[in-house]
Amino acid sequence: MGSKTAFPLDTATVQALLHARHPDPFAALGPHKHGRSRWVTAMDPGAETLSAVVGTKAYPLDRIDGALFSGKVPGTKPYHLRGAARGDAWEYEDAYGFGPVLTEQDEYLIAEGTHQNLWHALGAHVMIHEGSAGTHFAVWAPAASRVSVVGDFNAWDGRRHMMRSRGTSGVWEIFVPGAGEGQAYKYEIAGSDGAVGPLKSDPVGFGSQHAPENASVIRDISGYGWSDAGWMDARAPKHSRDAPISIYEVHLGSWRRRIDEDGRPLSYKELATDLVEYVQDLGFTHIELMPVSEFPFDGSWGYQPVGLYAPTIRFGPPHEFRDLIDAAHTAGLGVLLDWVPGHFPTDEHGLGQFDGTHLYEHADPKEGFHQDWNTLIYNYGRVEVANYLTANALYWLDEYHIDGLRVDAVASMLYRDYSRQPGEWIPNKDGGNENYEAIDLFKTTNTLAYGQYPGIMTVAEESTSFPGVSQPVDHGGLGFGYKWNMGWMNDTLHYMQLDPIFRKHHHDALTRPILWQYSENFVLPISHDEVVHGKGSMLSKMPGTEWDRFANLRAYYGYMWGFPGKKLLFMGCEFGQPEEWNHDAQLNWDCLQDPRHAGLQALIRDLNRLYRDRPALHAKDCEPDGFQWVDGGNADHSVLSWLRFGGPDDPPCLIVCNMTPVERPNYGIGVPTKGYWREELNTDSRIYGGGDRGNLGGVEAREEGLHGQPASIHPTLPPLSTLIFTFDGST
């Protein structure tokens, strides 16, 4: 053991290093000039001896105290460390021999809350730095007195890799040579009082362990070879207001399972084949994935995420998630993600009390705690937190070529008094209930997303009448492309659950939604929320006999696809799954052996085809001149009819719904043009499981005015059915 008198560190510094309390470890550890000599100081708790090796020559370091070693190492050439204990030896590069990776520009933008590529700076990045391979770690923890990265590469010992503070930005960083793909890690954070809290996962980590383990995992997300350039270049028109958009909502863990392998869910790679081919066959234009950001509790379905930047490991690593997106694009399908910026769970490894303070969340539970979900609410007014969320939206669009984001629980973010009683919430600066900071977050996120990634779409799940949700920001709106039409969903499902004998008293439930249809760009959603928590399946909601239930559901889907608005249907609803959705089991695929279920599935396929092929059914989903009532007032018969229009050269479509179990032959309906009206779809068709009552392919319009129209047709309306006719004057 060498003389301590020449050692350049004082006793207080030594003790601070040994006990992982030093606020600036790079000032003491690693190579430093002392007089004319280079001294190397290193921490290696497992070593009995430690040497610095330059080329082939080893320079023994003196043990100063415990795991701390120091000594002179001549010259300026790079060195590595060699430790030995109990007959074992190991060599490694010294993390404290490397300079910083982050730039002053990174510091400035992070502190300002405007780092649009935040994930390029923070997180764990596999890289070559100063000629050596390793991983750069960076994390925001402004109130911390010390931050260490711990993991598989350092025996989870917080003394080994204490990080470098980047000053007022609140960011800590270190490059760890040798750390790489697949290794688990967390952050050990000492608060301002020096107390060490629970180990924290990386807020910007790109991977995670399988539950119940919850460490972040180093994932190299660079260099993926995409094959979807054609899709990306041409996708913008597929998301415009005049495009056919029909969305299949999927919970990846319960869509289909491998019964032969203990019922495990399909992997991303398997889904890239099975799910993509299925959705393509049914004619949907988009897949919407319920949240894939890493989450600890299966029962949250992903809506309580901890790792916003990590695709869940449940179905495979990040590059295989990319394979799924790539396959969808190759098949001509867009992919939307459910995005959850509204709240996060209280799990101790997550964001709550991250650096010993209320860093990401509000301190006051009147602002920072969701009573409905027992979760924490982001402090959108803190610029770094808003930046964290906005950059996350951009991250998915950039790194994973996601085509759009469906933002969850927007109403809970817009209103400070959401689901709160008087005295349980804090008004804004003007005394109102609007959450100005959340509103600004939406505007900023949508502006950046549409500006940087042309051709994407954002969709708001917003259940109130907040104005301008899908209007551009420069016109005073929130900037979303579309909004879920929750009013349409609530009204129409209530109507369909009624016994038909009572429907005449609630006829306006099917007609009223047109009153607000053009106030926003709407998606008509039949989502997972409608088939859980005791609500039953779509099929079980329908009244009457077994035959009636299928007929009602077929008629309802015909009504939905004929009504203005883009479409969304949750998995299993397309074939009338008998049971309520269970996230712990696969869909009831066996029921497709029943022709009635298979017929319902065939109906959805044909509805999607017709919706895509007929501009009258989609081109003016969001334009009032694309819709005209023919007869919306026949409540006594529970019959309603309307016209849909596309461009001037597109033939109009007529939709007729009979919502009673009574066949109505020779039923008069006004139409704008005499000639032949082809029956393009009849939900009572035998191929869909119906009674096959119809009009032999179409009807001829007489030059007899009716319902304010110059001509009329007199088709047979089967019981509990929807018919879609297209004008075809050539016949």
- Which candidate, 722, 713, 720, 725, places its Cα nearest to that of 663? 720
Q: Which of 461, 574, 680, 684 is catalytic?
A: 461
- Catalytic (active site) residue 461: yes
Q: Which of 328, 469, 318 is nearest to 395 (CA)?
A: 318
CB atoms closer than 10 angstroms to residue 204: 25
Check if the beta carbon of residue 41 is closer than 8 Å to that of residue 32.
Answer: yes
Are 73 and 39 spatial neighbours (Cβ–Cβ below 8 Å)? yes
DSSP 426-488: ---TTSSSB-HHHHHHHHHHHHHHHHHSTT-EEEE---S--TTTTS-GGGTS---SEEE-HHH
Structure tokens at 432: 């109102």
> Are 607 and 561 a contacting pair, CB within 8 Å?
yes
Selected catalytic residue, list 202, 355, 408, 491: 408
Question: 179 forms bridges with which residues in the sheet?
Answer: none
Tokens of 674: 């005499």
Contacts 24+ apart (CB under 8 A), 89-92: 91/53, 92/177, 92/178
Residue 617, both tokens: 């059914």
**Count of C-beta atoms within a 10 Å radius of residue 282:** 20
The strand pair at 132-140 and 171-177 is best described as antiparallel
Cβ-contact 349, 370 below 8 angstroms: no
Distances (CA, A) of 299 to 342, 433, 525, 596: 18, 31, 22, 31
CB 380 within 8 A of CB 440: yes
Residue type for 270, please? E
| Rounded Cα distance, 244 and 199, in Å | 48
Three-state SS at 229: helix
CA atoms within 13 A on the CB side of 364: 8
For residues 44 and 330, give the distance between their C-alpha atoms in angstroms, rounded to a whole number. 51
Rounded-to-integer distance, Cα 303 and Cα 314, Å: 15
Coil, strand, or helix at residue 12? helix
In the block, which residue shows the tokens 């890239």?
272
Active site residue ranges: 408, 461
